[in-house]
Amino acid sequence: MVDFEISRLNDLERRQRVHALAGLAAIKLPVNALAQVRAQEWVGQGLKPVDALHLACAEGAGVDAFLTTDDRLLRAIRRSNLARVQANNPLPWLNEVLS
């Protein structure tokens, strides 16, 4: 999902910076059937399909946190009370982790 979202960035310089940052990831997990089913549940909660699939993949991977700067997405995730992973903005999350 990250690769797909990066490929959609119009600004070439930004795409290259984000691609380099994504390259720091220790592992990459493919989208699987369980994630696709879970993403449909999230779409039912009002998430956009791409956001829903990204979140479903994160849940399936058992990550510690799903980080996004999309405030609308964060509100929708928190409002649902269905998340199997902590959803947060990167800056508050980092402050919490470092303190």
Into how many domains does the chain fold?
Answer: 2
pLDDT per residue over 59-98, tens digit each?
Answer: 999 999 999 999 999 999 999 989 999 999 999 999 998 9
Looking at the structure, do residues 35 and 23 belong to the same domain, yes or no? no
Q: What's the pLDDT tens digit per position in 25-47?
A: 878 888 999 999 999 999 999 99
DSSP 6-47: HHT-S-HHHHHHHHHHHTT-S------HHHHHHHHHHHHTT-
pLDDT tens readout for residues 60-70: 999 999 999 99
Same domain, 55 and 92: yes
Domain around 20: 1-29
Q: Does residue 38 sit in the same domain as residue 19?
A: no
